[in-house]
Amino acid sequence: DADVTQTPRNRITKTGKRIMLECSQTKGHDRMYWYRQDPGLGLRLIYYSFDVKDINKGEISDGYSVSRQAQAKFSLSLESAIPNQTALYFCATSDLAGGQPQHFGDGTRLSIL
């Protein structure tokens, strides 16, 4: 979805480095999410935010942190990257109303050596 933009699209880095993945959206949605996808697995929720002042942990938040800088921006940080955090990361947004689909960016492929 071109309305959800993730940067960078690809990143290779070393163990122990701090990394920030950024997400911006033009859909005007209040809710934003960060997911991780590993080969052969579905998407797993890392963190989510229902508005600018709201941050919640997902099922796999350990080793990650997030910042909701504005309604349109939600960044994911790996404070000290480790190899098993190598994965595909997706940002998604959804409308405030319940029962609405999430709209995804095209992902960031992160490799940690």
Partner 1 sequence: GESVGLHLPTLSVQEGDNSIINCAYSNSASDYFIWYKQESGKGPQFIIDIRSNMDKRQGQRVTVLLNKTVKHLSLQIAATQPGDSAVYFCAENPKAGGTSYGKLTFGQGTILTVHP
Tell me which residues touch partner 1 (CB under 8 A): 1, 4, 31, 33, 39-45, 48, 50, 58, 90, 92, 94, 97-107
DSSP 8-state class, residue 98: S
Task: Please give the helix or strand (H or E) that residue 33 lies within, else none.
Answer: strand 31-37
CB of 101 to partner 1, least distance (A): 5
Examine residue 8 and say whether the peptide bond preceding it is cis (omega within 30 degrees of 0): yes
| Residue closer to partner 1 (CB basis): 35 or 85 | 35
Task: Please choose, from the candidates 112, 103, 111, 113, the residue with its C-alpha nearest in 3D space to the C-alpha of residue 6.
Answer: 103
CB of 108 to partner 1, least distance (A): 10
| Residue closer to partner 1 (CB basis): 6 or 80 | 6
Polymer length in residues for the chain:
113
| Residue closer to partner 1 (CB basis): 49 or 85 | 49
